[in-house]
Amino acid sequence: DAGITQSPRHKVTETGTPVTLRCHQTENHRYMYWYRQDPGHGLRLIHYSYGVKDTDKGEVSDGYSVSRSKTEDFLLTLESATSSQTSVYFCAISETSRGGAVYNEQFFGPGTRLTVL
Amino acid sequence: QQPVQSPQAVILREGEDAVINCSSSKALYSVHWYRQKHGEAPVFLMILLKGGEQKGHEKISASFNEKKQQSSLYLTASQLSYSGTYFCGTDLSGSRLTFGEGTQLTVNP
């Protein structure tokens, strides 16, 4: 199994509080991704990173920010959590693309279940 | 542009076959397939690239019609362990995937 961990695994917080989720990898993969998963929506990309300090927005980035200061860590921050951000959050990692395509599989972390009251 | 998967759900008996389809309205670099069991993380099954190259599970087959931007996942002689939700992920840009809503597969004894 790919070495990828997420912390915390479960979190309950209140509306308006800041929340930071951490993704840590030991595979030295270049790409890292944050997804949220909600019933009926599948996996939706929030932000991703293609290198240290190199990040880009996904399809549902509003209300979220990310940082990557080291290859192994990718942080997702909810500046002021809202109830609509209650979800399961997955981090994924991947090696570099090849020939202009996402050539390599993504390995997913175990997920973080976040509840915003 | 989220890809469209069909069917949304399918129920099989052990040993039966199933086909899951994934279609996109835009040109694709590649198509990925993942399976997720309840309460677990998605797990990689297969990648299909433009030009016919494939990577993935030996016991699962798939096709990619580049002209129609469609992919199909073929599950033959299904086993109980095949149960789960199947997601296709489409690569429009070469650096990220957009996933479909998933197909829930249930295999009964």
**Out of A41, A43, A101, closest to residue B91 by CB:** A101
- Nearest-CA distance from A26 to chain B in Å? 18
β-pairing, B30-36 vs B43-49, is antiparallel
C-beta separation of A86 from A34 below 8 A: no
C-beta separation of A114 from A21 below 8 A: yes
> Cβ of B27 under 8 Å from any chain A Cβ?
no
> Cβ of A39 under 8 Å from any chain B Cβ?
no
> Cβ of A17 under 8 Å from any chain B Cβ?
no
A-chain residues near B98 (CB < 8 A)? 45, 59
Instruction: Read off the amino acid at residue A53.
Output: K
Please report which confidence band the pLDDT of residue A97 belongs to, taking 50, 70 and 90 as the band edges: low
Taking only the tens place, the pLDDT of each residue in A1-59 is 669 999 999 999 999 999 999 999 999 898 999 999 998 788 999 999 999 999 999 99
Q: Which residues of B9-39 are buried (b: 16+ CB within 10 A; e: fewer)?
A: ebebeeeeebebbbbbeeebbbbbbbbbeee
Q: How far apart are CA A74 and CA B11, in angstroms?
A: 38
> Cβ of B2 under 8 Å from any chain A Cβ?
yes
- The number of beta carbons lying within 10 Å of the beta carbon of residue A65 is 15
Q: Is pLDDT of B91 > 90?
A: no
User: Does the beta-carbon distance from A59 to B102 stay under 8 Å?
Assistant: no
Residues 6+ apart with CB under 8 A from B109: B13, B14, B80
Taking only the tens place, the pLDDT of each residue in B44-84 is 999 998 777 777 776 788 999 888 899 999 999 999 999 99
